[in-house]
Structure 1
Amino acid sequence: AHEISLLEDGWNMREYQKLAAEGFWHGGSGVVVLPCGAGKTIVGAAAMAHAKATTLILVTNTVAARQWRDELLRRTNLNEDEIGEYSGAKKEIRPVTIATYQVMTTKKKGVFAHLDLFDGHDWGLIIYDEVHLLPAPIFRFTADIQSRRRLGLTATLVREDGMEGEVFSLIGPKRFDVPWKEIEAQGYIAPADCVEVRVTLTEHERLNYATAETENRYRVCATTATKKSVAIALAKFHENDQVLIIGQYIDQIDEISNDLGVPIIKGDTPVKEREILYNAFRNGEIKCLVVSKVANFSIDLPEASIAIQISGTFGSRQEEAQRLGRILRPKADGRGARFYSLVARDTVDQDFAQNRQRFLAEQGYSYRIIDADDVFTGKL
């Protein structure tokens, strides 16, 4: 057992957060589904206050681990000595330990050394952040760690491999779910305007696309030069907003970062540098940030109000939801958010876009479609 309580000092739990935590506590192990920006960490903290036990929190990366730690220090009676970080950088086991999925599933001489260490521990509660990642075979091992209770947190359980049912068998049933629009109506997440910008391949690109191997076709159309021009034009149009440009292909986002003269965060960006850049973005020192898919998960950038998606993981609905979620945190001045998705017309990019948008359509979001020329002429 370990004493944990919430300190509601200058803030109050929202009704749906209470219901989510209670639904989990009274129902038993299971999954809570809430939109990005709706305060899943607070639901986790409330679950910990119910459990009053040693807790293991599994997260996607070190930046997310530190955000959890900061949030727990702010919202609960835990102090720094009671919270450990177990990541590539640090190996601390404390009454509350925050570990990355990656380090848990790293092999040493063919053995999951860290996993055994955690399995030998008596955890009262394990919290799985971004639990929809779990069925990937690597993450599945972590579901075997011994614990009395398990709580999964996610914004979306959809998976393109149809394995979402596995989350329930590994963690437990869905204990709480609320439509995104309902939370938007309560003013807790920003309203979003979703815009699909259709670009046309040049003759040369069209020929390349037609002759490309099937597996390379998406890359050819997703990295069309027109997308770069549109992304740059949009970033300039929104120069007074906090803008995120998100892409899948590193050479593409490198070029955009260079052309705009703005910083970039990608897989090989050191954690320290990521934290510095994210903080500068939060403070408004940086107005535009280019990010690879490392920013899909668990990154708290409350002030981002514009997202420009230039390429993604094929038709992933989960990724679409995560990326929209990056800009849904409510803005201090009540502004809405805008999510641009750049799509090459008459290609697999357009087919994938339709699939990506399905989840958001089910959540009540509608996309309006404009042409690249509308961007160049400022008709936004």
Structure 2
Amino acid sequence: MTDGPLIVQSDKSLLLEVDHPGARAARLAIAAFAELERAPEHVHTYRITDLGLWNARAAGYDAETVVAALVDHSRYAVPHALLLDVADTMDRYGRLHLEADPRHGLVLRTTDRPVLEEVLRARRVQGMLGARLDEDTVAVHPSQRGALKQALLKLGWPAEDLAGYVDGEAHPIALAEDGWQLRPYQQEAVEGFRHGGSGVVVLPCGAGKTLVGAGAMAAMQRTTLILVTSTVSARQWRDELLRRTSLTDEEIGEYSGSSKEVRPITIATYQVLTTKRKGIHPHLELMSARDWGLIVYDEVHLLPAPVFRMTADLQARRRLGLTATLVREDGREGEVFSLIGPKRYDAPWKDIESQGYIAPAECTEVRVSMPAGDRMAYAMAEAEDRPRLGAAHPAKIDVVEQLVARHPEEPLLVIGQYLDQLEEIAERLGADLITGQTPVRRRQELFDAFRAGEISRLVVSKVANFSIDLPEASVAIQVSGAFGSRQEEAQRLGRLLRPKADGRSAHFYTVVLRDTQDQDFAANRQRFLAEQGYAYRIVDGEDLRRLAGGRAPDEVAGSLE
């Protein structure tokens, strides 16, 4: 028995004592293979999963490293059966290899013949495999490379893809030499991707994921397809590439709802690529036909199903996923792993903050009580109506006004899910509103005015969740969201994390209706950020007048870590 911060249990749960002096080191040690499940004040619960272990194995960790992390940080003896299970699970990765064979093209080869025999009899892989070439090798049609990897992952025998990549069409790209350079962690991320060939880079919002993409493009020197979440994001990527690389305007094409340019560097929106006509996706087919050397997926955790399917056909191309969090509420992290690749680089948010590259942030949950007259109506409402009744309750709007009044001079965003709620808030605040119905040109005008300091308040819907660069925004008030979405919570805080010119902290408020599903969803939304080290102070809405300078008195503030 030692005085470690971690308790490792036989059900594969890990309990981390948050206030222990060794907690941070333990958190970093287990982050590569364990997922956070619960994060109350003092003890966080992690879970070891097969996918987490395989992801760690694909990224270069071996079983000895994982076992050492558990043993070194555990307070009690680690259950021997669990250590054996960790080793056995990680050993399942790589018993099957996808390889390029000079005579037969793509093949599936095994180092353990019974595993191949088991796979050959599985329904999931029927139609994906060709002739048996020898006792250890089966031919694979190149078009089935991605689908086969997905199927093998679900069978519990994830294949190591050693088949390599086609070079794609060459295109010269260099980083601009005008007094800037990649930050050390950005360079490490580029190198991790380049040596791995494909995979995902996880960096906090505001930490410069676009620059990692530019660095990867310069390293590859190939034609590149960049997939993004919106036309506004596409134009931000274009502006950043023009500023940071040798690329000219003529070399960069936009493929969106308003423009259909295919050039050596093409930036396309997920929305236009997934447009379906007569049962097919014509834009996907057009993009798949080009000889790209690199595919970049911005906000890779958001990939829609048709893009997953396209990616299954692009396994011979190098693929780079960029995201602040790999959390997906639909549980499709396995598809990101099998089709894009493993994590090649993952930087904790607080580490980047401590280096001064993202702004510190104070997170506050303001709990508002429902008027007595509405509680019975909520209790008697249909289950499908309750999320909206809680999230969009009018009692929140008075709280929003009070919070705005406390930050009169700071650039401020109000973010929500429900348009009628946002319209009322915009009217009460006298602020401009941006939703999915706002034309792209008008969105850009308002974002530019906000950046320039011409307006200091914006009310925005979920269209501003992703890839919107508003460096000076320092206050965000979240009034409603997409149920219990952890990745949305992380993205919304991320709107504030660009370093401020005067070094000030950001303030992230979430307004929650007490004793409703809204409160339950808020608890789930906070889990990812809690794992990153952010603490949520809880304030009663009735006591807002006692807030001073964004800090809550001890008697009305709690803490969630």
TM-score (norm 2): 0.67
Deviations 1:230-253 (A, max 9, x none): 111111221200000001110000
Which residue identity does 2:301 align to in structure 1? H
From 447, 450, 454, give the equivalent of 1:285: 454
Once residues 131 and 33 of structure 1 are traced to their aligned partners in structure 2, the CA distance between those partners, rounded to angstroms, is 10
Tell which deviates more after alignment, 306-315 or 231-240: 231-240
- Matched with 1:251 is 420
- Matched with 1:274 is 443
1:14 CA displacement: 0.4
Contact 2:478 2:511 in 1 (8 A): yes
- Matched with 2:18 is none
Contact 1:60 1:101 in 2 (8 A): yes
1:376 CA displacement: 4.0
- Matched with 1:262 is 431
- Matched with 2:473 is 304
Which residue identity does 2:520 align to in structure 1? D
Once residues 181 and 8 of structure 1 are traced to their aligned partners in structure 2, the CA distance between those partners, rounded to angstroms, is 30
Once residues 213 and 255 of structure 1 are traced to their aligned partners in structure 2, the CA distance between those partners, rounded to angstroms, is 25
1:109 CA displacement: 2.5
User: Match of 1:157, SS?
Assistant: coil
1:141 CA displacement: 3.0
- Matched with 1:331 is 500
User: Match of 1:97, SS?
Assistant: strand
Written as runs of structure 1 = structure 2, the 5 A alignment for 1:32-71 is: 32-71=201-240
- Matched with 1:116 is 285
Q: CA RMSD in A?
A: 1.1
Q: How many residues align?
A: 379
- Matched with 1:141 is 309
Contact 1:230 1:376 in 2 (8 A): no
Which residue identity does 1:76 align to in structure 2? T
1:378 CA displacement: 4.6
Contact 2:308 2:335 in 1 (8 A): no
From 354, 357, 366, give the equivalent of 2:523: 354
Contact 1:205 1:220 in 2 (8 A): no
- Where in structure 2 are there 5+ consecutive unaligned residues? 1-169, 551-561
Task: Provide closer, same or farther for how the CA distance between residues 376 and 221 of structure 1 changes in structure 2, counting only shifts above 3 A.
Answer: farther
Once residues 547 and 187 of structure 2 are traced to their aligned partners in structure 1, the CA distance between those partners, rounded to angstroms, is 44
1:346 CA displacement: 1.5
Once residues 280 and 516 of structure 2 are traced to their aligned partners in structure 1, the CA distance between those partners, rounded to angstroms, is 45
Task: Provide closer, same or farther for how the CA distance between residues 213 and 305 of structure 1 changes in structure 2, counting only shifts above 3 A.
Answer: same
1:110 CA displacement: 2.4
Tell which deviates more after alignment, 232-241 or 301-310: 232-241
User: Match of 1:349, SS?
Assistant: helix
Which residue identity does 1:137 align to in structure 2? A
User: Match of 1:25, SS?
Assistant: helix
- Matched with 2:243 is 74
Which residue identity does 1:131 align to in structure 2? V
Once residues 104 and 229 of structure 1 are traced to their aligned partners in structure 2, the CA distance between those partners, rounded to angstroms, is 41
- Matched with 1:189 is 358
Once residues 10 and 214 of structure 1 are traced to their aligned partners in structure 2, the CA distance between those partners, rounded to angstroms, is 57
Which residue identity does 2:240 align to in structure 1? E
Once residues 177 and 498 of structure 2 are traced to their aligned partners in structure 1, the CA distance between those partners, rounded to angstroms, is 20
Are positions 1:219 and 2:392 aligned together? no
Once residues 313 and 503 of structure 2 are traced to their aligned partners in structure 1, the CA distance between those partners, rounded to angstroms, is 43
Tell which deviates more after alignment, 156-165 or 142-151: 142-151
Written as runs of structure 1 = structure 2, the 5 A alignment for 1:136-215 is: 136-144=304-312, 146=314, 148-215=317-384
Once residues 234 and 8 of structure 1 are traced to their aligned partners in structure 2, the CA distance between those partners, rounded to angstroms, is 44
User: Match of 2:189, SS?
Assistant: helix
1:120 CA displacement: 1.0
Once residues 142 and 130 of structure 1 are traced to their aligned partners in structure 2, the CA distance between those partners, rounded to angstroms, is 16
Greater radius of gyration (CA): 2
Written as runs of structure 1 = structure 2, the 5 A alignment for 1:88-99 is: 88-99=257-268
1:224 CA displacement: 1.6
Fraction of identical pairs, as percent: 66
Contact 1:308 1:339 in 2 (8 A): yes
Contact 1:29 1:151 in 2 (8 A): yes
1:350 CA displacement: 1.1
Once residues 148 and 161 of structure 1 are traced to their aligned partners in structure 2, the CA distance between those partners, rounded to angstroms, is 26
- Matched with 2:80 is none
Are positions 1:86 and 2:255 aligned together? yes
1:119 CA displacement: 1.2
Are positions 1:295 and 2:489 aligned together? no
Deviations 1:326-374 (A, max 9, x none): 0011011111101000011111111111111111110000000111122
Contact 1:123 1:148 in 2 (8 A): yes
Once residues 313 and 166 of structure 1 are traced to their aligned partners in structure 2, the CA distance between those partners, rounded to angstroms, is 22
User: Match of 1:53, SS?
Assistant: coil
- Matched with 2:59 is none
Once residues 448 and 441 of structure 2 are traced to their aligned partners in structure 1, the CA distance between those partners, rounded to angstroms, is 11
Which residue identity does 1:85 align to in structure 2? E
Once residues 142 and 301 of structure 1 are traced to their aligned partners in structure 2, the CA distance between those partners, rounded to angstroms, is 32
- Matched with 2:559 is none
1:377 CA displacement: 4.9
1:106 CA displacement: 0.8
Deviations 1:68-121 (A, max 9, x none): 000000000000000000000000000000000111111223221111111110
User: Match of 2:328, SS?
Assistant: coil
Which residue identity does 1:171 align to in structure 2? I
1:138 CA displacement: 3.2
Which residue identity does 1:375 align to in structure 2? L
User: Match of 2:293, SS?
Assistant: strand
Once residues 294 and 208 of structure 1 are traced to their aligned partners in structure 2, the CA distance between those partners, rounded to angstroms, is 31
